[in-house]
Chain A
Amino acid sequence: MSTESMHGATGAYAANALPAAERAAFEAHLETCPPCAREVRELAATVALLGRAVAVRPPPELFDAVMRRVRELPAEPSGAAGAGASAEIGAGDGAGAGEYVPPGGVREAPGAAGSRTASEDDRAEDGRAEDGRAGARAAPARGRVQHARPGRPWLRWALAASLAAVAGLGGVAVWQAEQAGTARQDARRAEARAAELAEVLAAPDAKPVTGKLANGGTGTVVVSEDRNRAVFVASGMPAPPTGQVYQLWFADPAGSMRPAGLMDPARPGAPELMTGPVSGSTAVGVTLEPAGGSPAPTTEPLMVLALPAPGTP
């Protein structure tokens, strides 16, 4: 395209009427043509008004669906991050050994994995890289590992898994420049969530309860009464059938179930900070639900784990 015809494409560009290749060429042209860029901004604002003129009333469920997805986001790498080319995280600052953590978390049973260090897990994971995120480092992770106490092997294991969850997100990963803002934002939220998760796991009063899942695998709930929160970790759990998701529940003594979050199918084995306070609950349940989750269980629980009674040592 000549410069003149380039300039003539401002309208077509603003209306998204250029095919992909021309769109890219025009965007390159925009970089060198401030008057074109200005015209495009004005025409983009103009077509936005065309868009506003066809507004319709969205169904209330749309908001619920959006919020459900939004609330699940912090624990989930952005699409770009998941596909993440070279998500090498800036953990290079004098990093001690042992902070490499496998993506996707630890898949072995707690007992088996309990005595392994995070770095051993990483080596074990090396070369598999099923989800394409191997090699990501958990920059924010370092230091929290030190909260792990001797004599509580499950804690070290659970922490390693939780750090893996952060690693999957890639802190300040390097991917497409245009994704950087999103990445930082996701990472910030993920770190806040991971920090809370780590605090539950490291709380002096944290207690684990473990049970078998009906469809194979093991589920562990770590409860901190002080923090009034719980973390769920599964191992050896099969991937949910297509279109379904594992949902967590808090059960009260009357037997009613309160939704406590969905497990991210992209991160099997990663711990989930359960949504909502623990207080008032006497058990934790896991069910299979349609994608997006349900307000109340629609299937038989795969597991119901009784929580330790409050005040027990």
Chain B
Amino acid sequence: MDDVKQLGTLLGRVADGDETAFAAVYEAVSGSVLGVALSVLRDRSQAEEVAQEVLVEVWRSAGRYRPDRGTVRTWVLTIAHRRAVDRVRSAQAATDRERRAARLEAALPEFDEVSEAVEDREERDRVRRCLGSLTEIQRRTVALAYYRGLTCREVSESLSVPLGTVKTRLRDGLLRLRDCLGVSDG
């Protein structure tokens, strides 16, 4: 976490148009940005398009980053996930998506497909360990919502559990992950 401050400083320079600083920020976040897009979109070329948009957005919006709202990584990955999810939701009709959701569920708990990852192996192992500490329903809910970009309703249909339960499991699952990963505010 010692790079948190450094990334914040770099982003400040990006806001002033510093390309070298941007290259450093790119180096730090691009792998995660592409990984998130790939996870949600399941399509290499679409994921690269979204990653490109997100990274250009980082350049353009650097001046809008608010350190009190979270770290640079969190900010960038929030943009990345939102963009990927928006893309996948606009791309397909609801019926397609339901079928797809069912397919995805069949394909799910394969967290091992991240073997390509290069960024911070320790971080990844920790996340995997913490995901393993969730209940089955929490873990699947979190994975379908975050890694596959499904809405609560889609998760509910996919797992055949009530909508309210999905929201509750998402919250208590993420709260447990938060504690396991030692995330704190500020």
Contact = CB atoms under 8 A, between A and B. Distances in A.
A137 B173 CA distance: 52
Given A9-B167, A54-B114, A66-B55, A17 B74 contact: no
Interface in B144-186: 145-147, 149-153, 155, 164, 166-168, 170-175, 177-178, 181, 183-185
Contact of A59 (B19, B32, B48, B172): B48
A186 B172 CA distance: 41
A178 B60 CA distance: 12
Given A45-B71, A46-B183, A50-B146, A56 B170 contact: no
A57 B32 CA distance: 9
Given A11-B175, A62-B52, A189-B17, A53 B124 contact: yes
B101 interface: no
Contact of A17 (B35, B151, B172): B151
Interface centre among A5, A11, A49, A185 (most CB of B within 10 A): A11
Interface centre among A18, A62, A78 (most CB of B within 10 A): A62
A58 B33 CA distance: 9
A46 B181 contact: yes
A181 B178 contact: no
Dominant secondary structure at the B interface: helix
B10 to A, nearest CB: 15
Interface stretch (A36-44, A110-118, A216-224, A254-262): A36-44
B171 A67 contact: no
Interface residues of B, number: 76
Contacts of A142: none
B41 interface: no
A49 B183 contact: yes
Interface in B70-85: 70-71, 73-74, 77-78, 80-82, 85
Interface string B117-142: 11110011011100100000000001
Contacts of A5: 164, 167
Interface string B12-36: 0001110100110010001111111
Which 3 residue pairs are nearest across A and B when measured between Cβ atoms?
A11-B171, A181-B64, A55-B119
Interface of A: 5, 8-12, 14-19, 38-39, 41-59, 62-63, 65-67, 69-70, 73-74, 78, 178, 180-182, 184-186, 188-189, 192
Interface of B: 15-17, 19, 22-23, 26, 30-36, 38-39, 48, 51-52, 55-56, 59-64, 69-71, 73-74, 77-78, 80-82, 85, 114, 116-120, 123-124, 126-128, 131, 142, 145-147, 149-153, 155, 164, 166-168, 170-175, 177-178, 181, 183-185
Given A16-B85, A17-B150, A48-B71, 11 more contacts: A5-B167, A11-B171, A45-B178, A47-B146, A49-B127, A52-B124, A63-B30, A70-B22, A73-B60, A74-B17, A184-B63
